[in-house]
Amino acid sequence: MTRFPDFHETHLVLDGGKRPIKATLFGQAVAATPKGGPQRLAPIARLSHITVRGAVSLDADLLIACAARGRPIGIADADGRLRALVAPMVRRRTSLGDALERFRGRADWRDRLEDWRRSRLSWLARGLAPDPSEAARAGWAGAEALIAASANVRGRAPAARLRNMARAHAMMIAARVLGDGGCPARWMTGGPDGRHDLVPVFGQIALWRLARLALRSRGAARLRRALSHDLALRGRPDRALERTAALVDRPLRSALAGDVRRLHLWLVDMAGPMADWRLDERERRR
């Protein structure tokens, strides 16, 4: 059994033109098995939509799972023209706050939230850190080191200043985006248990996105100059990250809003009826 390459919001094509494909549901993933070939998995959460053409059989449970996630399935002919569409029925939208509270009813919600955090950071660290999984476990530290290196910072004191400035700015952007996304205040001020605050979670995501912008974007050189300039001001409160913010705030807010939407969809899945099989036996007996 192999996995499709990792992706985010991608289009999956199941082409049975050369040999038949059997597509079934495996957990929360599409399991596609071509005749005489290995089974491959594509997580439904990472798909935008699915196109089917040729000899492809679709399992009913798979259709239901795709509908539950709002993923349409198009059926195309040999020329690629869309001939039919399996569209999800309109669902009543569950607010982010409701989804968080339902999710908190799971016995393992803390562990699952940590899994989600590490998954996002691991993906963002790819191509930047030699071990993305280890970078995800480290959280802030990996992104802070990359940002300091990108700005050519030397010495402990300047590195600490930049680290503090960047972390604070990332937290503020995270708080803004979470608030705009409808996150309840108690999930932004310590969390329901006093320890699981979403602002640091999304602050870490924002900082890793900043590291990617500083190292991998088209405007990376300009951003690195802005970071160096802002650091030279020695972190004065009235000028902290002034030039950097002018370059990155809009793209960071936009990207982070997408991360909030991903969390929202994931929460609905994890707390919904289709996630019941993940609950432990104590929860099942209640």
- Higher pLDDT, residue 223 or 240: 223
Count of positions (residues) in the chain: 286
pLDDT for residue 276: 40
Contact between residue 163 and residue 79 where contact means Cβ atoms under 8 Å apart = no
Residue 286 forms part of a structural domain:
no
Residue 283 forms part of a structural domain:
no
Residues 63 and 158 in one domain: no
Q: How many domains does the chain have?
A: 2
Residue 237 forms part of a structural domain:
yes
**Residue span of the structural domain in which 256 resides:** 96-278
Residue 228 forms part of a structural domain:
yes
Digit-coded pLDDT (tens) for 5-45 = 333 447 788 989 889 999 999 988 999 999 999 999 999 98
DSSP 72: -
Residue 104 forms part of a structural domain:
yes
pLDDT for residue 232: 66
Nearest Cα residue to 8 out of 32, 31, 42, 40: 42
pLDDT for residue 285: 36
pLDDT for residue 3: 42
pLDDT for residue 257: 94
Residues 49 and 75 in one domain: yes
CA 66, 28, 42, 23 torsion-angle sign: negative
The owner of tokens 């390459």 is: 5
Using 50, 70 and 90 to split pLDDT, how confident is the model at 236?
Answer: very low
Digit-coded pLDDT (tens) for 50-59 = 888 899 999 9
Reduced to 3 states (helix: H, G, I; strand: E, B; else coil), residue 17 is strand
Please give the share of the chain, as a percent, with pLDDT higher than 90. 29
Residue 37 forms part of a structural domain:
yes
**DSSP β-bridge partners for residue 15:** 53
Question: What's the CATH number where 20 sits?
Answer: 3.100.10.20
pLDDT for residue 120: 93
Mean pLDDT of all residues in 234-241: 48
Residues 74 and 143 in one domain: no
